[in-house]
Amino acid sequence: MNNNQATQSPKFLSKAKAATFATAVVLSALLTACGGGGEAAIDAATNKSADLPQATDKAATTGSIFYGANGHITNGGAYDSTAYATQLAHLQNLGVKIYRNDVYSQASAKVVATVAKTFAAGGVQVYPVMLLGLNYNSEQAAYNAGYTLGQQTAQTYNYTYYEVGNEMEARTLAGNYDGNIWYHYSNQPFTIARGAIRGMIAGVKSVNSSAKIIVDGTWKHTAFFQMLADGSQPDGTHGHPTVSWDITAWHWYSDQGDMTHACGNTGCHDVLGVLQSMGKPIWINEFGVRPTYGTYSSIASYMTGSLMMQQFYNNAAKYNIQSIQAFEMYDDSEGAYGLMQGDGKTQKPAYTAVKNFIATHPK
């Protein structure tokens, strides 16, 4: 990061790690460790789905989804060594109602779908964020890959919300730019990202026409989404395919400062105001404090303080903020971002602080 410009928040595993976790051996061990049966593990590994929730299983309606959290089901560590029932109990104890988890293959989609069904019965709604890279030769190739992942994800479970990509815009920047102007982006990567996003949406909609689509970004990378919406691109041309979505999600971390007065190379801007001008409800579906910020106690204070949870809560009506989701439940390979330590048992001060904030600020 330079000048507090976090180009991509640390989350989710690399493509290589994803491929590793997609193997039958790991899935079998994963489900067994978390209380799953051998048949379910075999089905996940062989793409059979007889014992898994299908598109006819509807995600439970849980009322308010204002408070949520991020998880990394299938990515190892505490998320896979801690029984799902225990994870659900942690979420319930916190008072969160929505839980964001990544999907990167048909096998991982089936695992997350199994968790979604279990958690829905306990009043916590799970939704997937689908991950794709930009290593495609054309927009059409990226579209095709996105379509496949979107369709496979929607076929495993009838989620209410589907998130298409994770901070894809950060990987299309032409340099160390704020990302709030169209020429801050490189044309070829932009078109690849657009293809992947369009494909994921189309794939989901081919199965679930009522699905709510979420796009996400971070820092001041707003021009990327303005170009998606109006059919323009970084080479200055217009008339290209447009993208329509239902919810604009954003990621914000402590080193980025005040979301309503974010200052970079292009000056200071109200990022929430810019997002609101896109005409969609806003989710802050990653908010967190860098582990290097200070002590556990200082991290807890920042997380619930005037530049994070308190600000989002106070400004929810003004900016149409519908959900805020803490990053993340457990410490893992991404770093010590968790509300709990990587053993899946030990609560950090941030856990108690977030729990108390939710209890005293009902939404």
pLDDT, tens digit, for every residue of 196-247? 999 999 999 999 999 999 999 999 999 999 999 999 999 999 999 999 999 9
Given a cut of 60, is residue 126 above it in pLDDT?
Answer: yes
pLDDT for 257: 98
Specify if 4 maps to a domain: no
Q: Which of 54-63, 138-147, 326-335 has the lowest mean pLDDT?
A: 54-63
The more confident residue out of 329 and 3 is 329
Specify if 3 maps to a domain: no
Domain assignment of residue 260, given as a range? 15-360
Given a cut of 60, is residue 128 above it in pLDDT?
Answer: yes
Q: What is the pLDDT of residues 162-179, one digit of tens each?
A: 999 999 999 999 999 999
How confident is the model over 108-134, as a mean pLDDT? 97
pLDDT for 58: 52
pLDDT for 205: 98
Given a cut of 50, is residue 29 above it in pLDDT?
Answer: no
Q: What is the pLDDT of residues 270-289, one digit of tens each?
A: 999 999 999 999 999 999 99
8 A C-beta contact, residue 309 and residue 288: no
Given a cut of 70, is residue 192 above it in pLDDT?
Answer: yes
Specify if 328 maps to a domain: yes
Phi, psi at residue 311, to the nearest 5°? -65, -45
Given a cut of 50, is residue 332 above it in pLDDT?
Answer: yes
Q: What is the pLDDT of residues 51-106, one digit of tens each?
A: 445 444 554 444 799 999 999 998 999 999 999 999 999 999 999 999 999 999 99
Given a cut of 50, is residue 39 above it in pLDDT?
Answer: no
Specify if 70 maps to a domain: yes
Given a cut of 70, is residue 17 above it in pLDDT?
Answer: no
pLDDT for 100: 98
Give CB contacts under 8 A, 24+ apart, made by 230-235: 232/182, 233/182, 233/187, 233/190, 233/191, 233/194, 234/172, 234/174, 234/182, 234/183, 234/184, 234/185, 234/186, 234/187, 234/190, 235/187
pLDDT for 74: 87
Q: What is the domain count for the chain?
A: 1
Specify if 10 maps to a domain: no
Mean pLDDT for the chain? Answer: 87
pTM here is 0.86
The CATH number of the domain where 142 resides is what? 3.20.20.80
How confident is the model over 105-113, as a mean pLDDT? 97
Specify if 207 maps to a domain: yes
Given a cut of 80, is residue 35 above it in pLDDT?
Answer: no
Specify if 1 maps to a domain: no
Specify if 80 maps to a domain: yes
pLDDT for 51: 40
8 A C-beta contact, residue 197 and residue 165: yes
Given a cut of 80, is residue 359 above it in pLDDT?
Answer: yes
How confident is the model over 324-328, as a mean pLDDT? 98
pLDDT for 63: 77
- pLDDT band of 9, cuts 50, 70, 90: low
Give the whole-number percent of the chain exceeding pLDDT 90.
82
- pLDDT band of 251, cuts 50, 70, 90: very high
Given a cut of 80, is residue 11 above it in pLDDT?
Answer: no
